[in-house]
Amino acid sequence: MALAVLDTSEAMGLITKDERDGKLTTVQRFLNSSVVREALGIETSNPDDVTYNRPLDDLKKQLARFIKDMKEGVKVTSRHNRDQVDSYGRTLARSSNISGERIAPLSLKAAAAPVTGKAKRSIVPKKARKITRIEWDKALARNLEDLGNAKLESLHHSICSIQIEHSPLLTIGAWAFVESLAAMAGKHADADFLAFFSVQRFSSYGLGNSNKQVGPVRDALQRLQRNGNTTKHHETSALFDGKQLVNDFATITPLLIKTIEGLASKK
């Protein structure tokens, strides 16, 4: 994995053969972090063919920043521990000069290949991008950092790192994140977070009050509350549909951001 990233970076002209000498261990240390891989857009589901899932222009920008930081030897060094590496990855993920979009995984080997001739128009539709985990949302992460709640930051980091094949564990983590945030925002201990996030609260956050605006978000909250409770408490029943959970969390993210912004304004 580290070798593939260095080879691609050299082919892109981001690092020379001499400059990369002795850097393999450092790159491997940082790529062992799923947060850093997510920030760069690197996927390693197939170890024989490392892929990337950001638009090529975004990939080049993220790799350029990573390689530059490594060559400077301050932000990216072999002396960093796992917490420092993950922290760097979260900072890298918040890069303001990238689109933030994702694409269907493509082989990293072809990322720096020169374009020859006129590209042929494909008549075969591309497969939908493979969903592997809850999307790391830069706005949500930035607001959590400003809020300064270590528990919520840690939960957000965890649920964005766990693969959806572990959907029962991921469900409980997502439930705990929303429950903890609602409690911090004033939810009574005897109430559930679905009741706390009422239509009136949506309206106060500027998220609308019509069923068209509020209905889908409350439906997602209801599924998370129901599936979270079932997964936590029942001896056999659990949520195994990780893709639905990813979609539900994306649906409620604007509400989560508004809730955090409201808390930050009271600090």
Residue 163 falls in which region: left (phi positive, over 0), alpha (psi -120 to 50) or beta: beta
Please spell the DSSP secondary structure of the chain, one letter per residue: -HHHHHHHHHHTTSS-TTTTTT-HHHHHHHHTSHHHHHHHTEE-SSTTS-EE-S-HHHHHHHHHHHHHHHHHTSSS-TT--HHHHHHHHHHHHT-TTS-----S-EEGGGTTPPP-SPPPPP-SPPPPPPP-S----HHHHHHHHHHT-HHHHHHHHHHTTS-GGGHHHHHHHHHHHHHHHHHHTT--TTS-HHHHS-HHHHHHTTS--SHHHHHHHHHHHHHHHHHHHHHHH-SS-----HHHHHHHHHHHHHHHHHHHHHHHHT-
CA distance 65 to 71: 10
Q: What is the 3-state secondary structure (H, E, C) of 235-258?
A: CCCCCCCHHHHHHHHHHHHHHHHH
The owner of tokens 């989560």 is 256
What is the radius of gyration, based on Cα positions, of the chain?
Answer: 21
pLDDT of residue 48: 79
pLDDT of residue 109: 86
pLDDT 10s digit of each residue in the chain, 267 long?
899 999 999 999 999 999 999 999 999 999 999 999 999 999 987 777 899 999 999 999 999 999 999 999 999 999 999 999 999 999 999 998 999 899 988 999 888 765 454 545 555 676 777 889 999 999 999 999 999 999 999 999 999 999 999 999 999 999 999 999 999 999 999 999 999 999 999 999 999 989 889 999 999 999 999 999 999 999 999 999 999 999 999 999 999 999 999 998 876
CA distance 152 to 178: 9
pTM, two decimal places: 0.57
